[in-house]
Structure formats: structure tokens, C-alpha cells
Chains A and B, each alone.
Chain A
Amino acid sequence: MVVAIDGLSLGAIYALIALGYTMVYGIAKMLNFAHGDVIMVGAYMIYTMCTLTWTTGGLPIWAGALIAFVVAVVVCTVLGMTIEKVAYKPLRGASPLAALITAIGVSYLLQGLAQLIWGADQKTLAILDKLGNLHAGSYTIKWSSIITLVVGAIIMVCLTLFVKKTRTGRAMLAVSEDKGAAQMMGINVNKIVSVTFAIGSGLATFAALLYLPTTAISPTLGSMPGIKAFAAAVIGGIGSIPGAMVGGVLLGVIEVVCNSIEGVASYTTAIEFAVLIIILLVRPIGLLGKKRRVKV
């Protein structure tokens, strides 16, 4: 029970990050390897703003945390859109390899800047852990896990509705399937790509907030969840939104289950990537990936 909830909640975090990878890949056809570092920036922003609002006083703790989170979302969204405009947009139409290398460069740039601003030492901010535990019968469940699970589920439902039911969401699906035909509908592809980066980075900030209880903040905080969420996106079928959700949850559950078994725990990461390899061997397009016709 506890393992299930912890697993699902970690899965929800991976899914939120994986959505950023998969949406950007679906629409801009590039792998944004700086995505994990946006989470890191989000975490630092939450940390800095929380410290600031809590020490200046006057505000209750929850209000300070809320302000901190809103500021972090805004900063990350703007950061994501800026990265796209400055680093990736000029390379659209260039070889995919050029965009990939640039993304890795942006990743190191963000890590370097974070170290410059906040220093290399680890910081901790137990923002959700303050909530304590829920005691239900013989079970003790962390409130932070429950909140993560609920918030993650709500965001995913909202995102699904947004993509399926709104004009912009529909345009995103259209650009993802056939950019040229989408342009013929009068869709401004640059705008849609920009919106996609904004959404992806916003989701990354949510992931940062939910990830904080389990980790210390350092300039490389985004690397591991970034890589795992990327694996989750690939497992689910990169470019597929439900795929990213399924892949994320699957990986989260595997991780927590493995960690809870003595003797297996030290092999957790190896097992996760073994699952990735096996799934790709059996189904190279991922669990929910679609075969795309190659257009001439």
C-alpha cells in the first residue's frame, strides 16, 4: 500500500517531466536535453523565494510558499521560451544533431550559471515534508506523497483536456502530425512551438516542487530525474502524451518497488534501464508510440 502510493507519486513526477520531453519532441522534433535543468532552476527559485518570504516575515508559511511557487513557474516558463527563441529556433531546419548538441550545451550552461549564483553546496528545503504523515490504520503514508499523486493526476487530466478540446491544443496535435499541412490551416508554427516550451517548462516547475521532499538542491539536481523521465518518455513512445504518462508511472513504480526489496535496491537504476532496453527490443516505437508514415 505505502509502496504503491510512493511509487505512483514518484511516477507522477517522472510523468510530468516526461511530458515536457515528449511534447517538445512531438512538436519541434528535437530532444531538449536542457529540460532536466529547468527543473533544477525551478527548485532553486522555490528555495530562494521561500527563504526570502519566510525570513522577511509577516506572511504565513503557506502564503510564502505559494508566492515562491508562482514566481518559480513564471521564471521557468519564461526561461523555457527564451531558451527556445535564442538557442533552438535559429537551428530549426538544421541537422537534428546540431540541435541536440546545442541542447546539451544549454544544459551545461544552466548548471554553470546555477553554480555561479547559488554555489556548489547542497541546500535543502523540506517544503512539503512539513506536512508530516497520514496515519490510516496500520499504515503511515507521507502527506507529500499523497499530494504529489493528486496534483500530478489533476495536471495530467487538465493537460489531456487542453490538448484534445481547445483550439491551441488541437493546433499542437496538427503541428505534431504534419507541420506543412498545419501551416496551410493558418497555424503559426513558431507560436505553437513557443507555447509548447512554455507548457513543458511550467510542468517542470511542478515537478521541481513535488521532487523537493526527496532530494537536496544542487546544480546537477535535474540530471537524474531528467534522464529517467526521458527514458520514461521513450518507453511510452516519444511524441505520445498518454505514452509519457504511462511510461513515467511505470518507471516510478518500478523504482520504488525495487528500492523496497532488500538486496535489489542497489540495482534499481540498472533494472529501470534494463526495462527500457527490453521494451525497445520488443516494441521499438514504445508502448503507445505510433508508426508515422514517412512523407516524401
Chain B
Amino acid sequence: MALLEVKDLQVYYGVIQALKGISFEVNEGEIVTLIGANGAGKTTTMQTVIGLIPSKGGSIVYEGTDITKFPSHKIVGMGMSQVPEGRRIFQELTVYDNLMLGAYLEKDANVIKERIENCFEQFPILQERRSQIAGTLSGGEQQMLAMSRALMANPKLLMLDEPSMGLSPLLVSQVFDIIKDMNKKGITILLVEQNAEKALAIADRAYVLANGEITHQGTGAELAGSEEIKKAYLGG
């Protein structure tokens, strides 16, 4: 059984249909990527799955439960967390407060403490800057914080929306290494990326989204090898 199963999902913004009935699934332990151009509906898909945007049709099933109409706090409580597009860390709060908010639904202080320690172990720079206002961090540090914040929820399914956006090539490679590493630790990954080449390289399976529809699907290697995909998304 798939961990996440999206069927015929339809989303409208007013009269404009942003998602025209897309279907995809993410199995436990996989890295699945959704690639596509600007405005294809990638972020809409991510936000609809986590309950921020209401859908007009179709269903979202997570761990066998239909969560289509669930409010987002309930969905997050089921073990799904998201690194949103543009990071959206809380700029006016400290690094520590941001991490604490990531563990908002965990009430056991000891568990939270342990997660913070794990996070500082993985990202020592965040420990150094724990009392600093998050808005003053560099772009790379903010991305580390956004990922750590999402990990503080101890998710089963982690959704990352354009984690490489606005980062230098060196940092982009680092971010993809971290994603691979998280997956090895047992977290299932749904990754949305414009950097199709990098995304396909680490993905078990991939879907191509164009104008609100899934146009191609296959393993990461299959899509990376397809002439059509190369032309459209990998710069020849």
C-alpha cells in the first residue's frame, strides 16, 4: 500500500483550474520527485496535500486514511511535514523558536530536547546561531533551518518544495546530500524541483507536471534518459 495516494486531484483558483485531475503515489521509503516548469501546479499540489488549499475533486489518501477534507493541523499530526517554497521560516523569531515551532505538536519536553540535540549535531551552525533572529541568517543557513524545522516534527513523509531555490551550486549539492541522507534514515521524501537534473538523479520515481496535468512518469533514470524530457527540462 502506498504511503500517500493522490487520485484525480482537482484544484481551482476562482474559475481557473490549476490542477486538472492529477494522480500519483509515494511508497514508503521512496524518494519521489515532481518536476515541471514555473506555474505547472507543483506548489499547488504540495499545499493541497497538506491541507492549505481546498480541492474541488479527487482524493488524497495517507496511510489508508482519506485526508482530503482534513484541516492541516490534523494532517501534520499524522506525520507529514513540509519545507515550503521560499523556506518561509519565521523571520522575526529566533532560530531556537523556529525549531520549537517545528515540534509544536509534540508535547513531551524530553522528546523535543532530544530532537533539538540531534538537529544541532547535524547542523552545528544552528547551535551557534540558536539565539539569533532567523531573518538575519544567510540563505543557506535559512534553508538548513527550514529543513531542521520540518524534521523537528519527526515526519514519516517529508515534502520539500524547491529546496534548492536561490542557493549557490555548492549549497545545492549539499541540500541534495542532506535529502538523500534523511531518506536513508527512513523518511519518505516527496520532492518538488525546478532543478530537474539533480532531482531525477536522486529520485526512485518521478512525475512530470505541465499545465496542471501529469504528462510523464517513470523511474528517475528513465525520465533522465528520455529525449523529450531532456529537451524540455534538462536544457537539451
Chain A residues at the B interface, C-beta cutoff of 8 Å: 167, 170-171, 173-174, 177-178, 180-188, 290, 293
Contact = CB atoms under 8 A, between A and B. Distances in A.
Given A185-B102, A293-B91, 9 more contacts: A173-B92, A174-B93, A177-B92, A180-B52, A180-B88, A182-B101, A183-B51, A183-B76, A185-B153
30 contacts: A167-B104, A170-B101, A173-B90, A173-B93, A177-B91, A178-B88, A180-B47, A180-B52, A180-B84, A181-B88, A181-B89, A182-B101, A183-B72, A183-B73, A183-B76, A184-B52, A184-B72, A184-B76, A184-B81, A185-B76, A185-B101, A185-B104, A185-B105, A185-B149, A185-B153, A186-B72, A187-B101, A188-B71, A188-B73, A290-B92
A186 B88 contact: no
B40 interface: no
Contacts of B88: 178, 180-181, 184
A290 B88 CA distance: 17
Contact of A181 (B73, B84, B105): B84
Interface in B88-125: 88-93, 97, 100-102, 104-105
A186 B90 contact: no
Given A170-B100, A180-B52, A186 B76 contact: yes
Interface of B: 47, 50-52, 71-73, 76-77, 81-82, 84, 88-93, 97, 100-102, 104-105, 149, 153
Contacts, number: 64
A185 B104 CA distance: 6
Nearest to A184: B82
A28 B93 CA distance: 19
Given A177-B90, A178-B90, A184 B84 contact: yes
A190 to B, nearest CB: 8
A183 B47 CA distance: 11
A290 B100 CA distance: 23
B1 to A, nearest CB: 24
A182 B149 CA distance: 11
Nearest to A178: B88
A180 B73 CA distance: 11
Contacts of A182: 101
A173 B92 CA distance: 9
B73 A187 contact: yes
Q: 3 closest Cβ contacts across the A-B interface? A: A186-B76, A181-B88, A186-B105
B104 A186 contact: yes
Contacts of B71: 188
A178 B91 CA distance: 9
A37 B81 CA distance: 42
Contact of A184 (B50, B92, B93): B50
Contacts of A178: 88, 90
Contacts of B50: 184
A97 B229 CA distance: 48
A261 B76 CA distance: 60
Given A167-B104, A171-B101, A181-B84, A186 B153 contact: yes
Contacts of A293: 91
A238 to B, nearest CB: 15
B142 to A, nearest CB: 13
Nearest to A182: B101
Contacts of A177: 90-93
Contacts of A171: 101, 104
B105 to A, nearest CB: 4
A181 B90 contact: yes
A170 B81 CA distance: 19
A162 to B, nearest CB: 14
Chain B CB within 10 Å, residue with most, of A174, A186, A188:
A186
Nearest to B77: A186
Contacts of A184: 50, 52, 72, 76, 81-82, 84, 88
Contacts of A181: 84, 88-90
Chain A CB within 10 Å, residue with most, of B51, B72, B76, B100:
B72
A178 B87 CA distance: 11
